[in-house]
Amino acid sequence: MRVSARRAIILTITLISLSWRLSAQGILIPNETFVGDSADFTFETGAFASSLENGAVYSVPSENILPSDDVTVVSVLVVPNGASASVTIRFIPWVSGSVSLPTFALQGVRVAPPQARIASIVEKTGRSSIQGARSPLLVPGTTWLLYGLTALALAAAVGFFWAGFWFRRIIRQAPGKRLAGRRVSLFSRELRRLERRPFWPDRARWLSAFSLSARRYFGALCVGDLDGFLSLTGAEIGDRVSALPGCARLSSSVVSLFAASDRARFGGAEENDWPDFIALARELSESLESAHDAALSELAREGEVSAHARV
């Protein structure tokens, strides 16, 4: 019982001491507040003993708070509790040491808050100058990643350079390439159609369609007109082909193709020789396109060399 009585006395004394500190000094949260931090300072006052409703929460208008250069007051809340009232001031300090919070008025009663203690970084760290900026922390392997990205960027730049160089060359050759591709595609499509229906509806009309397709191809090759050679003979078409750059040695094969087609068409023989015509036409078309393209490329190179020589 004596021990319990002693503890009760100590507890009573502690509560009285805490109540006195709360009333006289106030509580700062956080306890260690530095310049620029946001803090709450709570203290007890008996100034509103009979002027405020018990248990209500009152907010002090900003115009009722005196301005201060040392702190910026964010809000002031007053909560009456019997004979006293709890006041909480939220503020941001701009100076260290003992700071006087600005007075405020509520319901005609002006209150001067106790001083709050603001901590000093200089006192805490012992340094009076700002520490230099530290280098950023890097994830392991970041340096190699940066090296790899740099190498990749250089490789991409070189690749774009060469791609642009070849693209310019392709653009210069593009019109002729497009025309060649169009006529070869058209001729190949017509040959496939003839190949799917051999000698249909009869041998003579199939050979007539074959001769027409061949004439259209050679017209597109020589003069760029599908209908340009429809009325020419095989020999005349061979002469026109021989005038093309690189195609002179193949003109006799052109004449032979039309001569064989005419013999099979008008000779009346019932031979199953349509695969030979299809194969010969395809082979002759590929040879002509390849030889003509090589000759034009050689002429273009010679023209570039001549232009450089003139410069």
Instruction: Give the domain CATH number at 103.
Output: 2.60.40
Domain membership flag for residue 227: yes
Domain encompassing residue 245: 173-310
| Per-chain mean pLDDT for the chain | 81
Angle, alpha carbons 43-45-48 (nearest 5°): 135
Beta carbons of 32 and 72 less than 8 angstroms apart: no
Band of pLDDT at residue 177, cut at 50, 70 and 90: confident
CA distance 275 to 293: 27
Arithmetic mean of pLDDT, 121-126? 74
Higher-pLDDT residue of 202 and 169 is: 202
| Rg of the chain taking only CA atoms, in angstroms | 51
Residues 100 and 184 in one domain: no
**pLDDT value of residue 268:** 63
**pLDDT value of residue 76:** 92
Residues 182 and 260 in one domain: yes
Quick check: pTM over 0.75?
no
**pLDDT value of residue 21:** 44
Residues 113 and 180 in one domain: no
For the cut 80, the answer to whether the pLDDT of residue 274 exceeds it is no
Band of pLDDT at residue 23, cut at 50, 70 and 90: very low
> Which of 76, 70, 71, 111 lies closest to 90, judged by CA?
76
For the cut 50, the answer to whether the pLDDT of residue 228 exceeds it is yes
Arithmetic mean of pLDDT, 60-86? 89
Residues 212 and 281 in one domain: yes
Band of pLDDT at residue 299, cut at 50, 70 and 90: confident
**pLDDT value of residue 16:** 41
Cα dihedral 216, 222, 224, 227, rounded to 10, equals -30
| 69: Cβ contacts below 8 Å, ≥ 6 apart | 94
Residues 98 and 195 in one domain: no
